[in-house]
Amino acid sequence: MQEARGKTVTVIKDILGANEQIALENRGLFNEKGVFVLNVMAAPGAGKTSLIQRTIEPLRDRLRIAVIEGDVASTIDADRIAGLGIPAVQINTGGACHLDASMVRSALSGLSLEDIDLLLVENVGNLICPTGFALGEHLKVMVSSTPEGDDKPYKYPGMFSAVDVLLLNKVDLLPLLDFDMDTFRRGVEALNPNVAFFPVSCKTGEGIEAWVEWLLARRDQGFQP
Ligand code: MG
Ligand code: ZN
């Protein structure tokens, strides 16, 4: 029993180690081609695709943008982005609940990196394992949303502590919900005191300008994490 358990741990370490290696190669390629990359993570329905759309709107005249959409099945999100005239590649994970670095590497063959300044990667909707798998991104972005509740940081500490920036979406619904902003912020603060935090509404556009300005400043700082 003891030995079997030891082997399982070794196998998991190897998988994560192999992913880390490919992620580093992806990152090297992005840096070489001058592509700034975001890994956008959230629970299903929090508004990842809407946030990506809202981020594209003010930036599309300034930066060349492309999107990789990760979903278990369907091309709904990639079709939505392609409908905006933005290059979009869909990854269907065929059941897997997160993207990994090799999936992203395969998807890159469908994009011309020379012609991209900003690449938005939408991860599979899941609050647990996506943070365990680096993709080669420069920034880890989390979208949480008010209907999910103010207790989310307490229930999913792994993701809240791993991200560089946190957007709290659907703040237009706050008057209808028992969402206590102080409870939410205290939970986030305890896990990740340095995280950049933006309350936004992808429906009304509230807060989007502040987020986009921050993103541009981070990109200008260069391609280091
Ligand atoms: Mg989506
Ligand atoms: Zn997973």
**Ligand 2 mean position to 13 CA, how many Å?**
15
pLDDT at residue number 135: 98
**Ligand 2 mean position to 121 CA, how many Å?**
16
Place of tokens 């969402």: 179
Q: Which ligand is nearest to the CA of 125?
A: 1
**pLDDT per position in the chain (225 positions), as tens?**
555 566 777 777 777 799 999 999 999 999 999 999 999 999 999 999 999 999 999 999 999 999 999 999 999 999 999 999 999 999 999 999 999 999 999 999 999 999 999 999 999 999 999 999 999 999 999 999 999 999 999 999 999 999 999 999 999 999 999 999 999 999 999 999 999 999 999 999 999 999 999 999 999 987 655
**Ligand 1 mean position to 10 CA, how many Å?**
34
Fold of the domain spanning 2-220: Rossmann fold (3.40.50)
Q: CA torsion 107→110→115→119, rounded to 10°?
A: -30
**Ligand 2 mean position to 62 CA, how many Å?**
34
**Ligand 1 mean position to 46 CA, how many Å?**
9
**Ligand 1 mean position to 119 CA, how many Å?**
15
pLDDT at residue number 4: 59
Please state, in angstroms and as integers, the Cα–Cα distance from residue 215 to each residue in 36, 55, 56, 88, 172, following that order.
Answer: 10, 9, 12, 20, 22
Domain boundaries, the chain: 2-220
pLDDT at residue number 68: 97
CA distance 26 to 136: 5
**Ligand 2 mean position to 128 CA, how many Å?**
7
**Ligand 1 mean position to 70 CA, how many Å?**
8
Q: Which ligand is nearest to the CA of 126?
A: 2
**Ligand 2 mean position to 96 CA, how many Å?**
6
**Ligand 2 mean position to 223 CA, how many Å?**
27
Could you tell me how far CA 197 lies from the centroid of its own chain?
14
Judge residue 216's burial from the number of C-beta atoms within 10 Å of its C-beta, 0-12 exposed, 13-18 middle, 19 or more buried: middle
Neighbours of ion ligand 1 (CB under 5 A): 48-49, 77
**Ligand 2 mean position to 97 CA, how many Å?**
4
CA distance 169 to 202: 7
